[in-house]
Chain A
Amino acid sequence: MISAAHKASVRTAVLTIPFLLVAVAALQARIDATTNSIARPGQQLLLRSGAALKKISLGYNGLLADIYWTRAVQYYGARVAQPGANYDLLWPLLDVATTLDPHLIVAYRFGAIFLSEPYAGANRTDLAIELVKRGIAANPKEWRLGTDLGLLYYLRARDYPKAAEAYLEASKNPEAPAWIKMLAARIAEKGGSLETSRVIWSELYQSTSDPTIKKNALKQLASLKAQQDESQLDQLVTEYAKHFGHDPAKIQDMVAAGMLGGTPVDPAGFPYVLGSDGKTHLNPASSVEIIPPPKLPAPAQ
């Protein structure tokens, strides 16, 4: 039998707890506002030694590494939309995560992207290269890290001999696909050319399943195609000027002269336009973007 006291207690709980929970949520919002107003600028990472953390993790270093990696992603994610953001703690977080678990491949691969991105990252190619090299040393069977190193040397550091060397090294892995060896040879022969960049981004697009990387690769490929088209069209403009004694006024003049089979369009389907400087440009309405070469890596600190 349910006693009267129990009934009264349950009734009180049912009637008051929802209101009190709403009050708690409102209070929490107020506390957050107060705390944010007095928060110290930036964050601190008190334990920066992965080796020390490994010792005190009591064997749970894998779990701790996952936590540090998650923190690194959150740290990067919170800053990626802020131009000129400070990424000072990114390297220590990645350093600790990969020391705690040297086989955490995702931390090397994505960590290198976070570190090396010139516009939406720390722009520290030197640290990205160090991170990936450390990953290769700890995971010699993981050929993808070798290609990541090659990509870093090629796209970010623009050190083509080292990029070729990294791809060649990765190609020695029995599980590595054949295209890596061809890429190594191509970079050694024609490092820095638009066509070589196109091959690298195409392979990256084919080999990754990550939608963000795929989207970025497509953007890069569109940019490279536009740059190649512009370069070829500029050559035709020069030939036109030589033949007719003046520059064409518009692209259609070259079509009318039989130098082009039709109006050339960019990867987004917009026709190229001829500028007053006599150079070919993207249509202002086009979604294609010419991505400038990355800034040179900052000197090691």
Chain B
Amino acid sequence: MSAISGVVAINTFREAVRDRVLYNLVFFALLMIGAAILVGQISIGIDRLVIINLGLSAISVFGLVMAVFIGAGLVYKEMEKRTLYAILSKPVRRSQFLVGKYAGLLLTLTVNTGFMTLGLGAALFFVGRPFVRSDLSILIAVYFILLELALVTAITLFFSCFTTPMLSTLYTLGIYITGVFASDIHDIGDLTRSPGVKFIARVIYYLVPNFHNFNAIDFASHGDRIPFTLVAQDTIYAAVYVSIVLIAASAVFSGRNLK
């Protein structure tokens, strides 16, 4: 990432903070404290399980909502406020601007996720549970959520380059839902007798962003070890897919008539 993209990224992060985006952390903290107290009262032996499941799910959902709703207006807002013209009148390439915007939103989401992870740790501490080695899988699950958010942000940014925030949100949610059910698309291909449907199901399965790859909540809640190989594979997968989407976004955005 170039220095110019870095400047755009820092400014995007500052703008998000100014917009009080991180206020959602208060909701998250309240949710975790409430869950920690309530679950301890009404359950026997599954308080850890529920808090990890609830905490990681909340981190994922809050992150997704932020990624989609902020990402959808990221470029559109700059064009509407005409601030984009001021930026592009300087020696800033459109692709640098895009990468900067992407990195800024990702930084916002990372900070947000980091605080929420601390909140989850505090809730686990509150229920009187000592931290053990297998808790590393919780951190890996959080890392997977960040990879998921990185991909969702890139997709939202891509749509934001050529359509309105409302449509960007809808398109991104459509792709996200397809990606979550990717393994079911694969299964349909396995069960069908039609070679044509099987082929189409396979192609869709391998080409849509498979968000199922990033779901390690089940492993984390049961304290199962997540192999390093999977961490590496998921990281490369997210990096390659984000590159594809950003290259496509850059191609679309560079051709936009901003007059």
Contacts and interface: CB of A to CB of B under 8 A. Distances in A.
A6 B250 CA distance: 9
B191 A25 contact: no
Contact of B229 (A20, A23, A29, A34): A34
Interface in A27-44: 27-31, 34-35, 38, 40, 44
Contacts of A6: 251, 254-255
Nearest to B203: A25
Interface stretch (B100-108, B119-127, B233-241): B233-241
A21 B237 contact: no
Query: What range describes how many residues of B lie at the interface?
Result: 35 or more
B230 to A, nearest CB: 5
B180 to A, nearest CB: 12
A31 B233 contact: yes
A27 B236 contact: yes
Nearest to A38: B227
Contacts of A276: none
A3 B254 contact: yes
Interface in B189-231: 190-191, 205-207, 210, 213, 218-219, 222, 224-227, 229-230
Query: What range describes how many residues of A lie at the interface?
Result: 20 to 34
A21 B191 CA distance: 25
A21 B251 CA distance: 16
Given A9-B254, A38-B227, A24 B184 contact: no
A25 B251 contact: no
Contacts, number: 90
A77 B191 contact: yes
B248 interface: yes
A27 B80 CA distance: 39
A34 B247 CA distance: 29
A5 B236 CA distance: 28
B94 interface: yes
A91 B243 CA distance: 44
B247 A28 contact: no
Contact of B210 (A13, A21, A28, A34): A28
B251 A13 contact: yes
Contacts of B94: 5, 9
A20 B240 contact: yes
B207 A30 contact: no
Interface in A146-173: none
B178 interface: no
Interface of B: 93-95, 184, 187-188, 190-191, 205-207, 210, 213, 218-219, 222, 224-227, 229-230, 233-234, 236-237, 240-241, 243-244, 247-248, 250-251, 254-255
14 contacts: A5-B94, A9-B95, A10-B255, A13-B251, A20-B243, A20-B247, A24-B206, A31-B230, A34-B227, A34-B230, A35-B230, A38-B225, A38-B226, A73-B191
- Closest 10 A/B residue pairs (Cβ): A25-B206, A13-B251, A9-B254, A6-B254, A9-B251, A6-B255, A77-B191, A27-B237, A20-B244, A34-B230
